[in-house]
């Protein structure tokens, strides 16, 4: 019952024209940035860490554009409830043809990305344009109605969404067939004592080891994707093939390549990254020295 009410309300909301939705987004921006100051200290501290060479004014400009993009992401995601296939296709571009050759070669693929805007577009675009069954990983929301809504949204193009809670056991079976696995590899790791520690904008930072290990174990091609806003509601995805032979890379090497690439993407388009999460909350300990890459 709760789900039906929520879905019905948000579906009607999604029928509003884009220009009206973006006016609402601009209003919410004012509330979040100026009134409630939502995570503003976290955002500004992160920008100070990443861009000490920029002036305070430049960092404020990045922060303001980030908040606009952040709110647009939620507005655009709600629009997905009623958007047509044709309309969505007009709003995403990229070199999706990269997947055809990999698929024809018989090799599966892992797609590594960072929390760039709008990540929800990728949950639709990859399964829509790539020949592989697409597997995504998500963290369950405690509210069952909202969790079901998000899950159904992401599965429009038949994505296989796996919860972080049972990913290992479920993926083990799926890995026996064809797949493209999407991973946002800049997540904060659950266990810093079992992570790789690498310099990230000048500070040793923990990164999950799973993406690299999975690529080597399953011998999948590794592709990075930098997706970014072209203009409001329109996004582009730049896919780049890293390797088709992950087993040739030593411990931590693929993760280092990823972190270097992630930094480069963020430097190119700093307003396109999710600055509101505490990526540098962990402090390095000497006991982690053997984990430094």
Q: What is the DSSP code string of 219-254?
A: T-EEEEEEEEEEETTEEEEEEEEEES-GGGS-TTHH
Q: Fill in the DSSP letter of residue 35.
A: I
Alpha carbon distance 40, 218 (integer Å): 41
**pLDDT at residue number 73:** 97
Task: Tell me the angle at which helices 56-79 and 2-14 cross, rounded to the nearest 10 degrees.
Answer: 110
Alpha carbon distance 147, 64 (integer Å): 29
Alpha carbon distance 3, 195 (integer Å): 38
Residues of the chain with pLDDT under 70: none
**pLDDT at residue number 127:** 94
**pLDDT at residue number 165:** 86
Residues 6 or more apart whose CB falls under 8 angstroms from that of 283 comprise none
- Which helix (H) or strand (E) is 16 found in, with range? none
**pLDDT at residue number 115:** 96
Residues 6 or more apart whose CB falls under 8 angstroms from that of 242 comprise 112, 221, 222, 223, 224, 254, 257
**pLDDT at residue number 269:** 98
> Taking the complete model, does pTM exceed 0.75, yes or no?
yes
């Amino acid at each position: 019952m709760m789900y039906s009410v929520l879905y019905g309300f948000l579906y009607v909301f999604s029928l509003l024209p884009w220009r009206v939705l973006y006016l609402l987004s601009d209003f919410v921006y004012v509330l979040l940035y100026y009134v409630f100051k939502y995570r503003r200290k976290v955002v500004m501290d992160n920008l100070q860490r990443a861009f000490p060479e920029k002036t305070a004014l430049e960092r404020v400009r990045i922060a303001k554009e980030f908040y606009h993009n952040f709110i647009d992401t939620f507005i655009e995601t709600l629009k997905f409830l009623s958007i047509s296939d044709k309309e969505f296709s007009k709003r995403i571009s990229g070199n999706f043809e990269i997947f055809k050759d990999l698929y024809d070669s018989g090799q599966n693929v892992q797609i590594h990305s960072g929390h760039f805007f709008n990540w929800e577009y990728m949950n639709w675009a990859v399964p829509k344009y790539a020949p592989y069954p697409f597997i995504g990983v998500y963290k369950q929301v405690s509210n069952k109605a909202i969790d079901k809504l998000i899950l159904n949204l992401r599965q429009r193009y038949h994505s296989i969404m796996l919860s972080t809670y049972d990913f290992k056991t479920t993926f083990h079976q799926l890995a026996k067939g064809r797949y493209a696995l999407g991973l946002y590899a800049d997540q904060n790791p659950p266990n810093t004592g079992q992570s790789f520690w690498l310099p990230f904008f000048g500070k040793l930072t923990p990164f999950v080891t799973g993406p690299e290990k999975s690529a080597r174990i399953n011998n999948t091609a590794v592709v990075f994707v930098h997706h970014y806003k072209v203009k409001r509601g329109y996004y582009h995805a730049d896919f780049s093939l890293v390797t088709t032979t992950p087993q040739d890379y030593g411990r931590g090497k693929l993760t280092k390549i990823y972190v270097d690439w992630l930094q480069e993407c963020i430097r190119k388009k700093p307003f396109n990254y999710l600055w509101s999460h505490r990526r540098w909350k962990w402090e390095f300990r000497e006991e982690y020295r053997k984990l430094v890459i």
